[in-house]
Amino acid sequence: MSANLVVPTMAEMMARGEQPDVLFWVGCSGSFDDRAKRITKAFVKLLNKANVSFAVLGTEESCTGDPAKRAGNEFAFQMQAMMNIEVLNGYEIKKIVTACPHCFNTLKNEYPELGGKYEVVHHTQFLKSLLDEGKLRIEGGQFKGKRITYHDPCYLGRANQVYEAPRQLIEKLDAELVEMKRSRKNGLCCGAGGAQMFKEPEKGNKDVNVERTDDAMETQPDIIAAACPFCNTMLTDGVKFKEKEGEVKVLDVAELIANAEDL
């Protein structure tokens, strides 16, 4: 199946003298984490289906430095940022799409001051624009009647005010979008942000991802929709903790649409 994926790299494109419309920034999760790789592939399938002219950096991509920055290591962050900016500027990149809200936020907000000025969009915004331009059609058949609740990633929602694009995509699936009590700007973190993904939590009486999974479970969903690879991991773990993995799936918005398309 994945043999059908067309994933050109910037180096290949440049060798052919071509410039893609948009660079797909895959991110570390999307490149290495087994669960997140499925999101990456789902998004690529949609890009291929819509005939989007895109490329990836492949082995020339490196961490944006976001987790180092949130942990307080400004040196590691700025080293990564400067190296990435050299690569991106070298390829004269104008527009970047990424499926990771952390990469999205860092590229969009923190790179410009260091010399990296690009139009940066999240994959849910990008998919929404493909839909609006008629390049992508969403058939909701298999989701009809399903209850889907959407979890706002902090770095997409509160941090960058992107609340509607992912919701509008889900609504296209003919599913019932049910909101958690804490949503949009009041959304509760999944527990991964601020470099917590990479360490054990401090002493307390509950894990944040379980607290958030409780919010989701209250809506009695069939599917918990996420738009961030880290949120996906945390909520998947939360669902497993509740021993509900048989009944409730955690899926990225891109996966929902790719599944709907039966890609």
Partner 1 sequence: MHYLAQALFLLLLIVGFGFFIKNVKKLIRNIKLGRDIDRTDNPKARWKNMIRVALGQSKMVKRPIPAILHIFVYVGFIIINIEMLEIIIDGLFGTHRVFKFLGGGYDFLIGFFEILAFLVVFGVVVFWIRRNIIKLKRFNQPEMDGWPKKDANTIIYIETILMCFFLVMNAADYYLQSQGYSHYVLAGSFPVSNLISPIFNGLNLETVALIERICWWGHIIGVMFFMNYLYYSKHLHIFLAFPNTYYADLNPQGQFDNLESVTKEVQLMMDPNADPFAAPAEPQGEPEKFGAQDVMDLNWVQLLNAYSCTECGRCTSACPQNITGKALSPRKIMMSTRDRLEDVSKIMDANGGKFVDDGKTLLNDYITAEELWACNTCNACVEECPIEISPLSIIMDMRRYLVMEQSAAPVELNNMMQNIENNGAPWQYNQMDRLNWKDEN
Residues 55-74 interacting with partner 1 (rule: CB under 8 A): 56, 58-59, 61-63, 65, 67-74
Report the C-alpha gap between 225 and 180 in whole angstroms: 12
What sections of the chain are H helices per DSSP? 10-15, 27-32, 34-49, 66-71, 74-90, 101-105, 123-132, 164-171, 208-218, 229-241, 253-260
- Distance in Å, CB of 200 to partner 1, minimum: 7
Tokens of 195: 């470099």
Q: Which of 20, 96, 105, 232 binds partner 1 (CB under 8 A)?
A: 105
Report the C-alpha gap between 187 and 184 in whole angstroms: 5
**By CB under 8 A, is residue 11 in contact with partner 1?**
no
Q: Are 98 and 24 in contact (CB under 8 A)?
A: yes
- Distance in Å, CB of 10 to partner 1, minimum: 11
Window 152 to 191, contacts with partner 1 (CB under 8 A): 154-155, 158-161, 185-186, 188-189, 191
Window 106 to 145, contacts with partner 1 (CB under 8 A): 109-110, 113-114
Window 206 to 225, contacts with partner 1 (CB under 8 A): 206-208, 210-212
Span interacting with partner 1, options 122-130, 141-149, 198-206, 237-245, rule CB under 8 A: 198-206
DSSP assignment of 10-45 equals HHHHHHTT---SEEEE-HHHHHH-HHHHHHHHHHHH
Q: Which of 10, 13, 26, 169 binds partner 1 (CB under 8 A)?
A: 26
Lookup result for tokens 């993995």: 245
- Cα 48-31-184 angle, rounded to 5 deg: 80
Q: Which of 20, 116, 166, 193 binds partner 1 (CB under 8 A)?
A: 193
- Distance in Å, CB of 236 to partner 1, minimum: 17
Window 73 to 92, contacts with partner 1 (CB under 8 A): 73-76, 78-80, 82-83
- Distance in Å, CB of 33 to partner 1, minimum: 8
DSSP state of 168: H
